[in-house]
Structure 1
Amino acid sequence: MRSYLILTMCLLFLMYYFVNSTWLGYLVVIIAILAFLTSAYYSRGFPRIIGSIMMGVGITLELNKGAGIEGVSQGVLLILPLLCLVTLSPLLSMPLKISGYFKSVESLLQNLLHHPKKLFFGITSSLFILSPILNLGSIRIISEFLENLKLPAAMSAKSYLIGFSSALMWSPYFASVSLVLYYLNMPVGRYILYGLCLSFLSLLIGNLLFFVWQKKHSISTSGHPEKSLDCTHKKQLVKLVLFVILIMISSLAIEYVTKWSMVIIVSLISITLPLIWGILSNGWKKLNPLLKVYRDQSVPMLNNEIMLFMSAGVLAHAIQGTTLANRISDSLTIIANQSFLLFALAVMGIVLVITYIGVHQIAVIAALAMQLNADELGISNLALAMLLLLTWSISASLSPFSGLNLMVSRLVGMTGVQTGLRTNGAHLIVLAILGISFVIFMK
């Protein structure tokens, strides 16, 4: 029943985006709040606590501002595009699962086992390609491929965080890119090449630092015979890369022609792609079981995401225009007019401190994106977007409470602090320095 509630929320919001009817907007908000309450009931642990706190603070701020229920509704509507994206994007993986692409990725990684440097590059690049489509599920899949190989925990932690966090800075299929560009009112087509440059920089730094780390740490491959990659798997891997490129180009082309929000475009593609694949390949018998698993298992498991995203969205909207937010914005504007470097460090410091204690990136970065004005800062919207997404990527890796860090920590058997700060601290520091330098060059 909860699955139908969440899916109805997404479909009605997509209708609302095009119809923009007042009564439909109220209906969407009511269903979204019901979805939040049911998710709060089934959610457990830290997401339930921090989500409840953020929602409570957000509602209190809206009431104090005099916006009341209307303000809360606007906060919900602002975050619903991202909830649609998170809910519907797993549908993209179904044709890939049925077509056997994941087996080819597994074969590639096993083939590279006797070459640690190539294996590390294979893991990070695989995550870089798969993450936009599978989100955090890509880490779980790669982890299953490598489960029997007994790689060092530090190596796994490095590769998972570097590969996934790099994709956070470029793909419109991620909430990070979609949210920042949505609030800055910037087309993805204008940003994506610069985002790819930041992402490739992150991958390069991560792999170079691993080469240094690997010289001091031996990686045993005994008991695992070396395998060769056959032509069938090579062709499948080429098809996988082409598939990702095709959906990215399609998304950008649709955005260019229609001027629709990229979040809406990605959601629509997520719905239509499996249907088109089923029609063209006549593969409904294979597709139906995956759709049932998606409905009965995947969607109900979104409790934490709905809790955190919706509460963070309401809080971000409520913070906008408050005395504290205005003071921070004015202070950052003064700093930016004096030195962009100090401004970048201040923004990064604010986000890292707040997210490190458990507040979701959406609440902090969305509030900054809505509050800051690029013209007043004396920089371009592009530079501001790059800085915010660079900061998002670093904070997602560093914070022991982020979904990325929590998943990687659980898979490799390390604490969040060990996974983020100790294992990947050097990468994050170098990335911050070179990333800010790149943004300064582009501003």
Structure 2
Amino acid sequence: MRSYLILSMCVLFLIHYFIDLIWLEYIVVVFALLSFIISTMNSSGFPRWIGIIMMGTGMILEINKGTGLDGISEGILLILPLLCLVTLAPLLSLPLKLGGYFESVDSLLRNLLNHPQRLFAGITTTLFILSPILSLGSVRIISEFLSDLKLPSAMSAKSYLIGFSTAVMWSPYFASVTLVLYYLEMPVGKYILYGLGISFLSLLVGNVLFAIWERRYPLDRPSDPEIPLENRTRNQLIQLAMFTFFLMFTSLTIEYFTQWSMIVVVSIISIILPLMWGAISNSWKRLYPHWRTYLDQSVPMMNNEIMLFTSAGLLGHAIQGTTFANEISQFLTSVANQSFILFALAVMVIVLVVTYVGIHQIAVISALAMQLNAQELGISTLSLAMLLLLAWSISSALSPFSGLNLMVSRIVGISGFEVGLRANGLHLSIVAILGIGIIMFVR
């Protein structure tokens, strides 16, 4: 029942996007609030209390601003596209599961065991390709493949964070990219090449640093003989890369010709693609069990995401226009007019401090994206988008309360502090410096 409520919310929002009816808007908001309440009831621990605090604070701020229920509705409507993306995007994985592509990835990684540096490159590159489609599920899948190999915790922590955090900066199938560009009203097509550039640079830096680390701390290499990859496995790996490219190309093409929001484009593709796969391959019987798993397990498991994204989105909207937000905006504008480097560092520090205490990136970066004006800052909208996404990527890796950090620390068995700062602090620092340098050239 819970899954059908959440999916109904998504479908109604997509209908509302194309048919702008006031009464339908209210229904969508009610469904979103009900989804938040149900998700909160089924959550526990620290995320639950953070979600309740952010939602309560957001509502209080809207009431104090005088916007009341209209402000609350507007804040929830602004975050609804992201909720749809998070809920529907996992459907993209169904064709990959049916096609046996994950087994090919498993074969590739096992084939690289005798070469730690190649294995590290294989893990990070695989996550770079899979993360846009599977989100955090990609980390879970790779960790299951490698669970019996007993890799060192430091190696796992480095590879998972480096591989996944790159996608945060470029993929239109990710909440970070779609949300920032949505608020800045910037087409994904004008940004994606720059995001890919910084992501490739991050991937390169991470692999170089691991090569240096591995020389200092050599890994025990298995004595098992290497088994060459079968042609079928090689072909499936190529098809997997082409599948990702096809998704990106299709999304950008539809956005370019229709001018629809990329979030809406991705949500629609997520619904249509599995249906097309089932029709073309005539695999409805094989598809049905995966659909049931999605309904019974995948959607209910999104309690924390739905709760945190809804509350953080409302809080980010509520902060906009407050005295505190205006003062921060004036401060950052003043700093930007004096030095771009100081402005970039100030944004980084604000995002890192706020997220490190448990507030989700959506709240702080949404507030900054809605509050800051690129022209007043003396920079381009592209530069502002790149900076905010760079800050999002670094904070998601460093913050011990981010979904990525929490999952990796649970998988490798070390604390969030060790996963973020100790295992990846140097890599993230170098990427931040290089990223800010690149943004200076395009601003």
* TM bucket normalised to smaller: over 0.9
Distance 1:252 1:217 in 2: 43
- Deviation per CA, 1:96-142: give whole Å up to 9, x if none: 01101111111000001100111000000000000000000000000
Mapped pair 1:165 → 2:153: no
Q: What is the CA distance between 1:380 and its match in structure 2?
A: 0.2
SS in 1 for 2:228: coil
Which position in structure 2 is the counterpart of 1:388?
388
Distance 1:432 1:345 in 2: 9
Residue identity (%): 67
SS in 1 for 2:186: coil
Give the TM-score taking structure 1 as reference length.
0.99
Q: What is the CA distance between 1:223 and its match in structure 2?
A: 5.6
SS in 2 for 1:87: helix
Amino acid of the structure 1 residue aligned with 2:207: N
Which position in structure 1 is the counterpart of 2:422?
422
Distance 2:260 2:419 in 1: 38
Mapped pair 1:91 → 2:91: yes
Q: Which runs of 4+ in 1 moved over 3 A?
A: none
Mapped pair 1:38 → 2:31: no
Q: What is the CA distance between 1:225 and its match in structure 2?
A: 3.9
SS in 1 for 2:41: helix
The answer to whether the Cα contact below 8 Å between 1:386 and 1:439 also exists between their aligned partners in 2 is: yes
SS in 1 for 2:114: coil
Amino acid of the structure 2 residue aligned with 1:352: L
Mapped pair 1:295 → 2:295: yes
Q: What is the CA distance between 1:227 and its match in structure 2?
A: 2.2
The answer to whether the Cα contact below 8 Å between 1:157 and 1:423 also exists between their aligned partners in 2 is: yes
Mapped pair 1:270 → 2:284: no
Distance 1:281 1:384 in 2: 44
Which position in structure 2 is the counterpart of 1:69?
69
- Deviation per CA, 1:162-186: give whole Å up to 9, x if none: 0000111000000000000000000
The answer to whether the Cα contact below 8 Å between 1:101 and 1:240 also exists between their aligned partners in 2 is: yes
Which position in structure 2 is the counterpart of 1:439?
439
The answer to whether the Cα contact below 8 Å between 1:112 and 1:118 also exists between their aligned partners in 2 is: yes
Q: What is the CA distance between 1:157 and its match in structure 2?
A: 0.3
After TM superposition, list the pairs within 5 Å mapping 1:242-261 onto structure 2.
Answer: 242-261=242-261
Which position in structure 2 is the counterpart of 1:104?
104
The answer to whether the Cα contact below 8 Å between 2:333 and 2:377 also exists between their aligned partners in 1 is: yes
The answer to whether the Cα contact below 8 Å between 1:84 and 1:267 also exists between their aligned partners in 2 is: yes
Q: What is the CA distance between 1:220 and its match in structure 2?
A: 1.5
Which position in structure 2 is the counterpart of 1:24?
24
Amino acid of the structure 2 residue aligned with 1:406: L
Distance 2:442 2:25 in 1: 39
Which position in structure 1 is the counterpart of 2:413?
413
Give the TM-score taking structure 2 as reference length.
0.99
Amino acid of the structure 2 residue aligned with 1:407: M
SS in 2 for 1:359: coil
The answer to whether the Cα contact below 8 Å between 1:312 and 1:363 also exists between their aligned partners in 2 is: yes
Q: What is the CA distance between 1:298 and its match in structure 2?
A: 0.6
Distance 2:374 2:224 in 1: 54
Amino acid of the structure 2 residue aligned with 1:389: L
The answer to whether the Cα contact below 8 Å between 2:112 and 2:118 also exists between their aligned partners in 1 is: yes
Distance 1:222 1:347 in 2: 45
Which position in structure 2 is the counterpart of 1:231?
231
After TM superposition, list the pairs within 5 Å mapping 1:212-227 onto structure 2.
Answer: 212-222=212-222, 224-227=224-227
Amino acid of the structure 2 residue aligned with 1:101: Y
Q: What is the CA distance between 1:75 and its match in structure 2?
A: 0.7
- Deviation per CA, 1:230-263: give whole Å up to 9, x if none: 1110000000001100110000000000000000
Which position in structure 2 is the counterpart of 1:147?
147
The answer to whether the Cα contact below 8 Å between 1:110 and 1:227 also exists between their aligned partners in 2 is: no
Structure 2, unpaired ranges of 5+ = none
Which position in structure 2 is the counterpart of 1:311?
311
Q: Quote the RMSD (CA, aligned, Å).
A: 0.6
The answer to whether the Cα contact below 8 Å between 1:316 and 1:367 also exists between their aligned partners in 2 is: yes
**223-232 vs 17-26, which deviates more?**
223-232
Q: What is the CA distance between 1:224 and its match in structure 2?
A: 4.2
Distance 1:82 1:207 in 2: 32
Structure 1, unpaired ranges of 5+ = none
Amino acid of the structure 2 residue aligned with 1:344: A
Q: What is the CA distance between 1:226 and its match in structure 2?
A: 2.3
Distance 1:32 1:242 in 2: 35
Q: What is the CA distance between 1:218 and its match in structure 2?
A: 1.8
SS in 1 for 2:268: helix
**99-108 vs 225-234, which deviates more?**
225-234
Amino acid of the structure 1 residue aligned with 2:370: M
The answer to whether the Cα contact below 8 Å between 1:315 and 1:363 also exists between their aligned partners in 2 is: yes
Mapped pair 1:329 → 2:338: no
Distance 1:300 1:184 in 2: 31
- Deviation per CA, 1:15-58: give whole Å up to 9, x if none: 01110111000000001101100111010111101000000110
Amino acid of the structure 1 residue aligned with 2:433: I
Distance 2:223 2:209 in 1: 27
The answer to whether the Cα contact below 8 Å between 2:115 and 2:221 also exists between their aligned partners in 1 is: no
The answer to whether the Cα contact below 8 Å between 2:128 and 2:164 also exists between their aligned partners in 1 is: yes
Amino acid of the structure 1 residue aligned with 2:230: D
SS in 1 for 2:191: helix
